[in-house]
Structure 1
């Protein structure tokens, strides 16, 4: 009971501070349930970037990870962007540096660089396009077929995009999200067998995504019940589907919204240990402190922001 009272009191204080500061709270689908519940906008990286681009709030509190707050700061140079915990990083974003990208570009002069949004501002500044899992296929399809493509940093999303688009001149950086990489094909097959009527929803960052596409082609997994989707796409599909059970292959934080939006339907994690420790860094107390004490202001140097903004705006415009 005391924990419930504490959560309620914190949420009420956050709402009061938010009104006083004309603030917007953005939260990713992987955040703690109580943080999701106080967000003005809850969504995947693309939805949150679009919300950041169009807001008239004075302050943006980003309940996500560092690269997301950087993206909001790039889109809103005149606003205060707060990240409640500076330790909310991303193993995938850390898998490539700007120096490494510059060296890769030197090996492929003239190639078009497509950077997943899970990258630092410096990497985005070296890129031609950004993308998210919701529009990566469409971004690659928007690039002339004769253009060589460098896709980074997620090898699983890159392999998925290459398979869907059929692009032969696409090079893929060998990075990964350690949480999604840990969701393995055998785990997925086992859970699907235990729930034979369930639909399978797979995030394309998962270590099992490309394998699952092959297993679908081979008839091991049911083609009509297997969907590879972004987190936003998963939520939308779960609402629209007539299925009553879903096996979900992504970070388990999304299950809170799935259950909240779909009473009566059942959602089973493909791997219940798929928990991102970085996404769970942000708590209600830290959100309150961010609003009360201006913790922690995220800024991007003007020259880097100017170069990165073009790639981000292309991402927002496509799909």
Structure 2
């Protein structure tokens, strides 16, 4: 069986397999660690293995290569990209920075290594609020590339001097307030877990603050935040507004609880590109090595290390 062959190769070649929460179930099952981008970056930083096989999208594998330059990083499919990462390029960022020479650039981890090399701070959805809070109040901030996460952070920190890039993740942007309201109305006892990249986040935060959802609990959380929340919650029913791949891990770890996607269509085709066959081939042939030029990596590492230091 392919699964057994992967296990053998992994041991033989001293490989650790990291998989994102949105990967297909059989890929999650063969991984040594499953988590969000921050959790996986931390695993990449501390793993003793000489090779990292990254089951996720390309920017995540690049992050691992930047953090662990002495290790070999493989990705099973080099075409596993990211619509959010594609929403800003190096020229656009340099121009934006030149228009605001004293600003601090804060970029989401969902960006290319080139973009990261131009940032002061990197962040993930789980620590974006804390990263922005760590920057002096009088400093102007350029936040990129996710406009929904940016709006959420600005609201949570009360920051008035934060400029936000107009990028989005096509999957999360597709989860609308209508999707959530429809489920809210039909599931009175469910808790709602919403990823801050969703287009429903910004309007819903105001509604939450106004007490519009008094009968439902609404939490805005990163994917790992969602995992921790459902484990500790006394609720038995959850509506989950993020990519549907996370439901597999939720059900596996909480078999007695019920999980409903806010939108059944919230699937990332890039995350689903990685299959067991591709994992096996990448391990066997050590193909699709992800490398980042040293100069770019050295500059990007500083922003990532700042992210890892702020939990």
Q: Please, what TM-score do these two structures have when normalized by structure 1?
A: 0.96
The answer on 1:209 being equivalent to 2:189 is no
For 2:119 and 2:96, how far apart are their aligned partners in 1?
Answer: 12
Out of 151, 156, 162, which is 1:159 matched to?
A: 151
Deviation at 1:221, TM superposition (A): 2.2
2:77 touches 2:278 (CA, 8 Å); kept in 1?
yes
The alignment status of 1:171 with 2:171, answered yes or no, reads no
Partner of 1:146: 138
Give 1:174 deviation, angstroms. 0.3
Are residues 1:105 and 2:97 paired?
Answer: yes
- Cα contact 1:124–1:311 (8 A) shared by 2: yes
Contact 2:145 2:164 in 1 (8 A): yes
> Retained in 1: the 8 A contact 2:175–2:200?
yes
Query: How far apart are residue 218 of structure 1 and its match?
Result: 3.0
Deviations 1:100-123 (A, max 9, x none): 000000110110000000000000
Q: Are positions 1:45 and 2:37 aligned together?
A: yes
Counterparts of 2:134 and 2:212 in 1: how far apart (Å)? 33
Alignment of 1:221-260 (within 5 A): 221-222=213-214, 225-260=217-252
Quick one: distance in 1 between partners of 2:235 and 2:304? 36
- Whether the aligned pair in 1 keeps the contact of 2:6 and 2:280 (CA below 8 Å) is yes
Task: Answer yes or no: is the 8 Å Cα contact 1:216–1:223 preserved in 2.
Answer: no
Q: Secondary structure at the match of 2:137?
A: coil
Alignment gaps of 5+ in structure 1? 1-8
Partner-residue secondary structure (3-state), 2:155: helix
2:110 corresponding residue in structure 1: 118
Q: Is the 8 A contact 2:147 2:166 kept in 1?
A: yes
Q: Give the distance between the partners of 2:128 and 2:75, measured in 1 at CA.
A: 26
Q: Deviations over 1:4-59 (max 9, x none)?
A: xxxxx111111100000110000000000010011111100000000000111011
Equivalent position of 1:3 in the other structure: none
Matched, 1:301 2:293: yes
Does structure 1 conserve the Cα–Cα contact (< 8 Å) formed by 2:188 and 2:216? Answer: no
Distance in 2, matches of 1:222 and 1:35, equals 39
Q: Do the aligned partners of 1:62 and 1:81 also contact (CA within 8 Å) in 2?
A: yes
Q: Is the 8 A contact 1:212 1:221 kept in 2?
A: no
Counterpart CA distance in 2 for 1:219 and 1:318 is 31
1:44-63 maps to which residues of 2 (within 5 A)? 44-63=36-55
* TM-score, structure 2 as length reference: 0.99
Q: Displacement of 1:222 after TM fit?
A: 3.2
In the alignment, the residues of structure 2 paired with residue 126 and residue 117 of structure 1 have an alpha-carbon distance, to the nearest angstrom, of 13
Whether the 8 Å CA contact 1:52–1:75 is kept in 2: the answer is yes
Aligned equivalent of 2:77, options 75, 85, 101: 85
For residues 102-146 of structure 1, the C-alpha deviation after alignment (integer angstroms, 9 at most, x for no partner) is: 000011011000000000000000000000000000000000111
Compared with structure 1, are the counterparts of its residues 50 and 223 closer, same or farther at alpha carbon in structure 2 (3 Å cutoff)? Answer: farther
Deviating beyond 6 angstroms after TM superposition, the runs of 4 or more aligned structure 1 residues are: none
Q: Indicate which of 270, 274, 283 corresponds to 1:291.
A: 283
For residues 10-89 of structure 1, the aligned pairs below 5 Å read 10-89=2-81
Q: Which residue of 1 aligns with 2:129?
A: 137
Q: Which moved more, 1:132-141 or 1:215-224?
A: 215-224
Aligned to 1:181: 173
Aligned pairs (5 A) from 1:191-206: 191-206=183-198
Query: Structure 2: how far apart are the matches of 1:66 and 1:270?
Result: 26
Secondary structure at the residue paired with 1:37? Answer: helix
Of 266, 281, 303, which residue of structure 2 is paired with 1:274?
A: 266
**CA distance in structure 1 between the partners assigned to 2:237 and 2:84 by the alignment:** 30
8 Å contact from structure 1 (residues 185, 208) kept in 2: yes
- Residues 190 and 216 of structure 2 are in contact (CA less than 8 Å); yes or no, is this contact kept in structure 1? no
* Count of residues in Structure 1 that have an aligned counterpart in Structure 2: 311
SS of 2:30's partner is coil
